[in-house]
């Protein structure tokens, strides 16, 4: 089976550290549960991602060079 997380079109997915997450949530004035969701079955997730983790996804963007988005891992 092909590992889709290594495909060139899949943006970088990484687990956000708790200290960094606190800053993100404060900046946007939201709670962790307000973030968009990503399922544990998503093949692009890091292998060590668990329910409740927040994933930082860095995508290429034509307008801002890079776009950073966040997703909460759910089952």
Enumerate residue ranges in the chain where pLDDT < 70. 1
Number of domains within the chain = 1
7's tokens: 């495909």
CA atoms within 13 A on the CB side of 39: 3
Handedness of CA 39, 42, 44, 50 (dihedral sign): positive
Model pLDDT, residue 31 = 95
- Domain containing residue 23: CATH number: 3.90.940.20
DSSP 8: T
Range of the domain at 26: 4-74
CA distance 11 to 68: 10
Tens of pLDDT, residue by residue over 12-27, are 899 999 999 999 999 9
């Amino acid at each position: 089976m092909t590992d889709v997380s290594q495909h060139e079109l899949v943006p970088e997915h990484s687990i956000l550290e708790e200290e960094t997450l606190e800053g993100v949530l404060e900046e946007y004035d939201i709670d962790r549960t307000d973030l968009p969701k990503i399922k544990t079955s998503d093949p692009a997730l890091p292998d060590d991602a668990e329910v409740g983790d927040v994933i930082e996804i860095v995508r290429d963007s034509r307008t801002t060079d890079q776009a950073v988005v966040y997703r909460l891992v759910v089952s």
